[in-house]
Amino acid sequence: MKILIPLLTLIVRSSQLSLSDCGSEARRPLIDDISVECGTSSIGLAVEICPVIYTGYNETLLILNHMMDPVCRATLDDSVNPPVARFNFPLNTTHACGSTFRTTSAAGTGIFSDFSNIQTVNISGIIRSIDMTTGTITYNAELKYYYSCAYPLEYLINNTQIDVSASSVSVKDNNGSFISTLSMQLFSDSNYTQPMVIPELGIELRTDVFVEVKATNLTGQYHVLLDRCYASISPLPTNSSFFNLFVPCSKDRFTTMIENGNSQTARFKFPAFRFIEQQNETVSTYFLHCITRLCEKSTCSTFKQCNNRRKRNTLDTSAVTYTITSPEIITKAESTDSKEKPVAAQDKDDSAVGLGVAVGILAFACVVALSVAALFYKRIRN
What secondary structure does DSSP assign to 286-352, as a single string?
Answer: EEEEEEEEEEETTTHHHHT-GGG-----SPP--------PPPPEEEE---SHHHHHHHHHHHHHHHH
How many C-beta neighbours within 10 Å does residue 187 have?
A: 18
- 172: closest CA among 145, 141, 153? 145
Residues whose CB is less than 8 angstroms from the CB of residue 92 and which lie 6 or more positions away in sequence, other chains included: 219, 220
For 84-138, write each residue's pLDDT tens digit: 999 999 887 777 999 999 988 887 776 666 666 778 889 999 999 988 888 777 7
Which pLDDT value is given to residue 232? 87
Report d(CA 89, CA 95) in Å as an integer.
Answer: 8
Position 2 pLDDT exceeds 50: no
For 294-339, write each residue's pLDDT tens digit: 888 888 888 877 755 444 433 333 222 333 335 678 887 665 444 3
Residues whose CB is less than 8 angstroms from the CB of residue 132 and which lie 6 or more positions away in sequence, other chains included: 7, 61
CA distances from 140 to 48, 133, 150, 372 (A): 17, 8, 33, 142
For 237-253, write each residue's pLDDT tens digit: 666 788 999 887 788 89
| Straight-line distance from the first to the last Cα atom of the chain, in angstroms, rounded to the nearest whole number | 157
- 196: closest CA among 360, 32, 78, 330? 330
Residues whose CB is less than 8 angstroms from the CB of residue 104 and which lie 6 or more positions away in sequence, other chains included: 119, 120, 121, 122
Rg for the chain, CA atoms, rounded: 37
Mean pLDDT is lowest, of 124-128, 137-141, 287-291, for: 137-141
Which pLDDT value is given to residue 266? 93
Note the pTM of the prediction, 2 decimals. Answer: 0.61
For 169-210, write each residue's pLDDT tens digit: 233 456 777 766 778 889 999 999 999 988 888 888 889 999
Which pLDDT value is given to residue 77? 93
- Exposure string of 17-34, with b = 16+ CB inside 10 Å and e = fewer, is beeeebeebeeebeeebb
What secondary structure, in 3-state letters, does 143-211 show? CEEEEEEEEECEEEECCCCCCCCCCCCCCCEEECCCHHHEEEEEECCCCCCCECCCCCCCECCCCEEEE
Average pLDDT of the segment spanning 143-170? 61
Q: What is the DSSP letter of 133?
A: -
Position 63 pLDDT exceeds 70: yes
- 78: closest CA among 97, 52, 42, 43? 52
How many C-beta neighbours within 10 Å does residue 378 have?
A: 9
Average pLDDT of the segment spanning 26-47? 92
- Exposure string of 76-94, with b = 16+ CB inside 10 Å and e = fewer, is beeeeeebbbbbbbbbbee
Instruction: For CA atoms 237, 242, 244, 248, give the dihedral sign.
Output: positive
- 201: closest CA among 334, 338, 337? 334
Query: What is the average pLDDT score of the chain?
Result: 75
- 154: closest CA among 312, 293, 33, 360? 293
- The pLDDT confidence band at residue 166, using thresholds 50, 70 and 90, is very low
**∠ Cα 248 229 317 (to 5°):** 90
Position 269 pLDDT exceeds 90: yes
- The pLDDT confidence band at residue 165, using thresholds 50, 70 and 90, is very low
Which pLDDT value is given to residue 331? 82
Query: What are the chain's domains?
Result: 19-152 (2.60.40.3210), 178-304+319-332 (2.60.40.4100)
- The pLDDT confidence band at residue 60, using thresholds 50, 70 and 90, is very high
Residue 73 near residue 29, CB atoms below 8 Å: no
Position 290 pLDDT exceeds 50: yes
Position 233 pLDDT exceeds 80: yes
Which one is predicted more confidently, 40 or 345?
A: 40
Which pLDDT value is given to residue 330? 84
